[in-house]
Structure formats: structure tokens, C-alpha cells
Amino acid sequence: MRILSCIAAFSIFITLAALGTPAADEPGPLLKPIVPSSNNVRVRIPVIEERGTTMQFKAQIPKGKSKKGETIDVTVGIENLPGPSFVSSKLWQSWGYEIPQNKMATLPELIIPGTQVAPKTSKHDVQVKMATIPLEIIEPPGGAEKVRGCDIYMTLKDLTKYADRTFETRLYFQDKFLELTVPSGTVKRPGTGDDVPPDPTITADRELVVVAGPMANRKGLPQFAYASINGLTQYKTPDGKIELVNAAVSSTNDWPTGVLITSGTARGCGVEIEQGGDFKGMGATFEAMIAKGKVKELRLGVMTGPGLKTQKDIVIQDLTVWIDKTSSGHFVWLGPQFLSTYFKDDILACGSDGIWQLHGRLKPDLLQDIKTRPKK
């Protein structure tokens, strides 16, 4: 009887192996695919990395003062953090639009090519039409025609109308695409895309640890719930105010190590600054002097373990950072190059509860127990 049981168990094992069933400890997807309601469609928009604005996608806009249906090809830089969206006065006028007196314009429509991932269809290509995009018309530094290297510099909030929980926005940094749930009425189907959209990457390294970094909403900005620099979670400014270490993911931060810090935070946390050799940085509306510095220790609070219920800290030591000497504010921007160095399969996602989290896999030696946090 025991022999028959062993034979049966072995047969089941062989059958499962033949079917390609993964072993119990084989890495799986970090997030479940989103199944949209009957009135919605899940779409995927490819993004590209370019110097100036790290994450961009291609789109079309209607041509101003022209016959209906005429469009212009544009590139759109997409920033996940809230803020204004910009276009240069030169480009705005060249597209046939007039500049309002208050320099606040509205783009009537943005047409974005992508693929439909849910519900499944035989043809996958789509065009998503997003209406009434607010744009601030500016004069980029140096007389540039483009804003940070793209025709339109846009924030996700202006794209989703501050409804990320409804769009269930996901930005896949490693796979280079943006996913949104959009109303079916905004989707046009050309019917020419036969290629099946690939699934998000699953890194096969079983030693990597799955983590999720929960975000807290501070002053309208989703930031890591816990962050410290050189052992400090907060510091006192010269005028006696207490400021927190505010760290957040920024999809358009293109500095080499992916870490940009304001001078206020650098000074408050005692960040070492290299003397001489400052660099010139280009913001949307200003030029900035950028210095190179060194952070002795950066900590970011994450959840890990079964069910993501164990609290740990990502601890990175001797980190090269870039310091905006023209900004006395208090912020830390963590860009795609920072994520690609330390994370695999990284996804910045907003759930249906409206809470943002950074998901990924990283080396276990980067994690420490929260008991090792420096004393206040």
C-alpha cells in the first residue's frame, strides 16, 4: 500500500512538472493583475528613459486652429509626484494655440497609444483619449523649446484628475510601462495589434526578499512612512523649526545615483558636501547649482516576510547623493536609477484604498531589524 502511495505521489509530481507548475518557493508576481469592472479597461502605456526627464511616453494632441482630426506627435514626461504640468510658450504657439493672459492653458485632448491587458481581446492596441489637461505655460531656462527634454512635462495627478485610487495607477520602472484603469468610453481600438502584452517581469533569484514600502500622505505628497538620513528622522532648522526627513520616489529624477536632496535637508542631517566642482542642473523653470555629497546612512521603512507583516529597514551606507544648493527646502527625491540599483521588479502602485506603496525585491543584506534604528 505504501509503495502504491509513493508511486501515485511520484506520478503527480511528474504531471505537475510537465504542466510547468512552479515549485513552492519559486518567485511569483509581486502584485495581482487588476481586473477592471465592466465599464472600464485596463491599459498599458510604454515609457522610455531619456536624459532630462527619465520617464516619457509618446502621444498626440489636436492641432490648434485647424480642421478637426489633425494631430501633432509629442513626447510627454510623466512625474508621479503632484505638482504643476508645463509646456513652453514656443511650443504652445507653434501648435496653433494662443497664450492666455494668466499663462494657465487647457489642452483639449491627449491621445495616448497603448495596449489593452484586461479584459482580454483578440486585438490589443488601443488609443486612450484623456480630456482637458491643465498646463502652465512657461519660459524654460536658457531659452529652451522643451521642458526638461520633453514637449509636455506632466504629473500623474493632472492625467488622472487626482483619482489615482480609481485609475489604480501602477508605474513599472524595470519593465518600462505605466498601467491605468480607464473608462471604456475613452478607449479607441484601431484593431491592428496582434502581439499579446507580456506579463510583468519576475526575477528568478530566490535569495531576493520581497518588500513593500508604505507611503504616508504629507502635505499632499506620498512619502515613505519612515525615512532617516545619518540617523535622523527630523532636524531643527536655523530658525528653530522642526522638519522631517521627507523621502519620496520621483519618476523624473535623472541624477546618476538617483538621489537628489535639498540643501535644507543636507544641512540639517549633516550630509558631507564635496567642495568645488558644482554642476548646473535644469529644472522646469529655473537653473540650479548642484553639488556632490555623501550620506553615511539612508534608511527607508518597509514591510516584508509572509503577508508583508514584518517591519524592517532598508539600510544603505556611504551613498553618493546630489544636493540642490539653490533650494533651502526639505525633501529627498529617489529616482529610477536609485531603484534599479537596489530593487528588482520595482513597481510604484496606488491601490483602490488610495495608498501608494513601492514594491520590489532586494538583497537580504540590505535589511535590518528596526531595533537597530539610532536612538532619538
Query: In this structure, are 50 and 182 located in the same domain?
Result: yes
Query: In this structure, are 181 and 264 located in the same domain?
Result: no
Query: In this structure, are 306 and 167 located in the same domain?
Result: no
Residue 278 domain-assigned?
Answer: yes
Asked if residue 116 lies in contact with residue 43, where contact means CB atoms within 8 angstroms, the answer is yes
Residue 204 domain-assigned?
Answer: no
**Which positions ≥6 away from 108 have C-beta within 8 Å?**
62, 131, 132
CATH number of the domain within which 299 lies: 2.40.70.10
Distance between CA atoms of residues 97 and 99, nearest Å: 7
Residue 15 domain-assigned?
Answer: no
State the amino acid at position 136 in one-letter form: E
Query: In this structure, are 181 and 256 located in the same domain?
Result: no
Residue 29 domain-assigned?
Answer: no
Residue 16 domain-assigned?
Answer: no
H/E stretch holding 164: helix 164-167
Q: Where is the domain boundary, 133, 153, 188?
A: 188
Question: 3-state DSSP call for residue 339?
Answer: helix
**Cell representation of residue 212:** 513593500
Residue 62 domain-assigned?
Answer: yes
Query: In this structure, are 235 and 92 located in the same domain?
Result: no
For the chain, the domain total comes to 2
Residue 236 domain-assigned?
Answer: yes
Query: In this structure, are 365 and 322 located in the same domain?
Result: yes
CATH number of the domain within which 120 lies: 2.40.70
Query: In this structure, are 136 and 221 located in the same domain?
Result: no
Q: Where is the domain boundary, 188, 219, 249?
A: 188
Query: In this structure, are 221 and 356 located in the same domain?
Result: yes
List the domain range (segments joined by +) for residue 294. 209-372
Give me the tens of pLDDT residue by residue for the chain, a chain 376 residues long. 334 343 344 343 333 333 333 444 689 999 999 999 999 999 999 998 765 556 899 999 999 987 778 999 999 999 999 999 999 999 999 999 999 999 999 999 999 999 999 998 888 999 999 999 999 999 998 888 999 889 999 999 999 998 999 999 999 999 999 999 999 999 999 988 788 888 999 999 999 999 999 999 998 899 999 999 999 999 999 999 999 999 999 999 988 899 999 999 999 999 999 887 787 777 777 788 899 999 999 999 999 999 999 999 999 999 999 999 988 899 999 999 999 999 999 999 999 899 999 999 999 999 999 999 988 6
Residue 222 domain-assigned?
Answer: yes
Asked if residue 127 lies in contact with residue 111, where contact means CB atoms within 8 angstroms, the answer is yes
